[in-house]
Structure 1
Amino acid sequence: MGLLGIDRPPTVLLAVIASTFFVGFGGGVVFPILPNLGAVLGISAFMVGVILSANRWVRLVANAPAGALVDRYGTRKPFVAGLFVEGVATLGYVVALAMPPAESLRPIAASLPTFAAGPLVVGAEQWFTPIAIVVAPETWFLLARILWGFGSAAVFATAYTIAADLSDSGSRGTNMGVVRGGITMGFPAGLVLGGVVSAIAGNIAAFSVAAAFALTASVVAYRYVPETHVTGDRSGDSIKPWDIDTAVPAVTVGLVNFGLMFAYIGALFSTLVLFLGANDISLLGLAPQGTSGLFMAGTVLSAAFFMLVGGRISDTRDSRTPILLTFLVVSFVGFLLLARAESVVSLGLACIFIGAGQGGTSGPMMALLADLTPDERMGRASGTNNVLGDVGGGLGPMVSLPLIESVGFAPIYAACAILPLAAGAALLVGVRRETGTFLPGRTAGETDPGEGSPPTEP
């Protein structure tokens, strides 16, 4: 029995946690750097939002195939491959910063020959435009985020499915929370790298360190994560991006994830560095990049802690619904505090509440999905959850960054406080429709844990 009364997770889950922790550096490192880097590179606020959310838009078409592949072929190969792809994508950030300024390429374009074919004349100016697009830093940042999206789709679908395979109703919330904690704990480390390391050693150094850790993650997974989810169904129709689980439990949990990710990633993470600069808030004398990294790291640490708390509590109660609603209200309070934040203390308190609300829902939410979903559909159900979460996380930066330039921070943050409450309403409606009660038991829809799942370790 360990911290908070939580037993030591199985060795397989420890390997999953370590792998997702290391690869998470690449997910967090970009957030403190890119919003400020936009002004230096001449990238518009909208383009910054597109880059930050590109991985989520890619996952819209990758999540469902990833989940279907897991249900058909198992977890090991997609998990290892997804981690490796994310590591390569993190290296793309280094390449982006190594690209030369566009104007420096004019002499090269001018040295290229001029072609004429009737009215079409291709000279120096015509050569310059495609070359500038190809080498532009924003192009490489965008490509890296796209590649990250494909890799993370595979990682998310497999990580949650592994946790479901190794769990029963009495450990599912805890194991889901632990795995989700591993996925997100690497993120604050990436935020620190992106904020503090870039301030001390430069942006390229921060991205290089993150890439090294991300590539290490695939090595850890290859060595220690076995197959957990072979169903024997290796035939059937072709796998399509729209092949998602449309059952009520998957859609309900996905809608909750949509609201939380829109507010959390879209409103908080994508705008915090700008909020700090506008309000002259600093920690340890750091610039907005470094300060935002510390605040966001604190937010995710709060989330990781309450993932364990929420998951454990949900495993000891008759129903997971009350703990989910409690943490959605906590998130609502956090965004109200954020809308009124004017100092280090008030902003820190808001970040703790937002992190607690986000984290406290994660374990119970995925456990509820596994409670109500047959084992053979868990991969697809995870894909549905990820699709809707990525719609929210993808829309968030694209909507919040331009609107903040027009109406300011407080109205946007206050509006985001409504989203957790709307998510709670969707949760109650969906759960009641599926189970006939607002408080379904933890074993609702559970199949025999001995069918198709390997035994958990003692």
Structure 2
Amino acid sequence: MSRPRTIILAVIVSTFFVGFGGGVVFPILPNLGALLGISPFVVGLILSVNRFTRVVANTPAGSLIDRIGTRKPFIAGLFIEGLATLGYVVALNATLPEVWFLAARILWGLGSAFVFATAYTIAADVSTGTSRGTNMGVVRGGMTLGFPAGLVMGGVVSDLYSVTTAFVLAAAFALFASAIAYFAIPETHVSGPQTRVKPWDVDVSAPALTIGAVNFGLYFAYLGALFSTLVLFLDFHGFSVWGYGPQGMSGLLMAVTVVSAAVFTFGGGKLSDDYGARIPVLLGFLVVSFAGFALLAVAETIPTLAVACLLIGIGQGGTSGPLIALLADFTPTERMGRATATNNVLGDLGGGLGPLVSLPLINLVGFAPVYAVCAVIPLVAGLLLVGSIYSQTGELSPTTVSLADD
């Protein structure tokens, strides 16, 4: 097998490039919906349907990984995401664009189910207890950084050139990512097919369900609510900077959010390794996320809005590495694919329900109440996490050493 650092680097690079297709639609589609005759509800469904697809696909993907390994599902998932991004281009010129966008997002969800589960499993396979937070953090950070690149591409390139150009570029990078994985990613998980693992085998252990529930709440607020409503928030308040309209500006602000998330994903995972415990690090970043959404609820100026997005990104990113590392701390290696799938299922439910709930609610009650509710979610998640870990270990903050010894 290649050296762990080489494998981790290859995962980071390939997931970074494929991530462009995930972010490119967010600055474009909410405003493009009216032009194409797509209702706000259907726009929300298009933005969410990839996550609902993953809800269905995550479990068999995780079981398949524990059964046949990581290499083939990882490469296949990246290639499928590239084809899905090409579907956005077809949708722009189709008679029923909403059908094509939905189909492309469903295909994207299928591919990403394999990419997310395999990336985390590969990182767990090549890690030890003292490096797990760092490796999970850098993999998650690399995956996250592709998304803001897609946001900038979707907002800026569509403003300067065309929507078609933005989608074509994203598709090219996504297909390039699958080529990188083909040549650089070895098998890390199994030495031969594990026939005892069935496609419907779901990990319903307490750690997987608890961490998945925390993931549900965070993604509901972060990707589900914030990302699907920010362009509308900017348009409503008439914010503009450097000549960019709502699409370009929302792309830049979301990029700030996700870049800060990626940076602190690296830092959060390493901090939990260095500190020797995950819970204190997680709670600190959950409080930061609360502060960001609370500030967003009262934001009336561009600087205030920028600080709110920055804090939300820091909070979200800081929790990502330690949270998935905590899952790996509690999970036997041979079940990591399925445990990751359970975590992803619940996270995708949160991210998928977010647009469907927040977009109609904003039309009824406005932006501030919706963002205020999102601020409470990280606090509730922290209480749930501490309570569950205490019930399993008898400690409020177990060390990584004690978990490794169990």
Shorter-chain TM-score bucket reads over 0.9
Within 1, Cα distance between the matches of 2:191 and 2:34? 51
> CA 1:210/1:392 → structure 2, altered by over 3 Å: closer, same or farther?
same
**Residues 235-246 of structure 1 mapped to structure 2, 5 A cutoff:** 235-236=195-196, 238-240=198-200, 243-246=201-204
Considering only aligned residues, what root-mean-square deviation do their CA atoms show, in Å? 1.3
Aligned to 1:26: 21
After superposition, the C-alpha distances for 1:255-298 in whole angstroms (9 at most, x for unaligned) are 11001000001111000000000001122110100000000000
Aligned to 1:111: none
Aligned to 2:182: 222
Within 1, Cα distance between the matches of 2:82 and 2:250? 24
Within 2, Cα distance between the matches of 1:413 and 1:213? 34
**Residues 276-355 of structure 1 mapped to structure 2, 5 A cutoff:** 276-355=234-313
Aligned to 2:375: 417
**Residues 364-383 of structure 1 mapped to structure 2, 5 A cutoff:** 364-383=322-341
TM-score normalised by structure 1 residue count? 0.87
TM-score normalised by structure 2 residue count? 0.97
Cα pair 1:373 1:445 within 8 Å, conserved? no
After superposition, the C-alpha distances for 1:197-246 in whole angstroms (9 at most, x for unaligned) are 00011100000000000000000000100000015452136412xx3211
Cα pair 1:83 1:152 within 8 Å, conserved? yes
Cα pair 1:259 1:423 within 8 Å, conserved? yes
Match of 2:27, SS? helix
Cα pair 1:91 1:208 within 8 Å, conserved? yes
> CA 1:174/1:238 → structure 2, altered by over 3 Å: closer, same or farther?
closer
Structure 1 runs of 4+ with >2 Å offset: 231-234, 443-448
How many residue pairs end up in the alignment?
404
**Residues 360-439 of structure 1 mapped to structure 2, 5 A cutoff:** 360-439=318-397
- Between structure 1 and structure 2, the one with the greater Rg is 1
What are structure 2's unaligned runs of at least 5 residues? none
Aligned to 2:53: 58
Cα pair 1:71 1:231 within 8 Å, conserved? no
Aligned to 1:442: 400
Q: 2:33 aligns with which of 29, 35, 38?
A: 38
Aligned to 1:453: none
Q: 2:120 aligns with which of 147, 160, 164?
A: 160
Within the alignment, does 1:17 sit opposite 2:12 as a pair?
yes
Q: Percent identity?
A: 66
After superposition, the C-alpha distances for 1:396-436 in whole angstroms (9 at most, x for unaligned) are 00000011011110010001101101110110111112212
Amino acid across the alignment from 1:59: R
After superposition, the C-alpha distances for 1:374-396 in whole angstroms (9 at most, x for unaligned) are 10111101001000000100000
Match of 2:26, SS? helix
Q: What's the offset of the Cα at 1:167?
A: 0.6
Match of 1:227, SS? coil
Cα pair 1:32 1:292 within 8 Å, conserved? yes
> CA 1:172/1:348 → structure 2, altered by over 3 Å: closer, same or farther?
same
Aligned to 2:316: 358
Cα pair 1:262 1:396 within 8 Å, conserved? yes
Within the alignment, does 1:178 sit opposite 2:127 as a pair?
no
Match of 1:251, SS? helix
What are structure 1's unaligned runs of at least 5 residues? 1-7, 100-134, 449-458
Match of 2:286, SS? helix
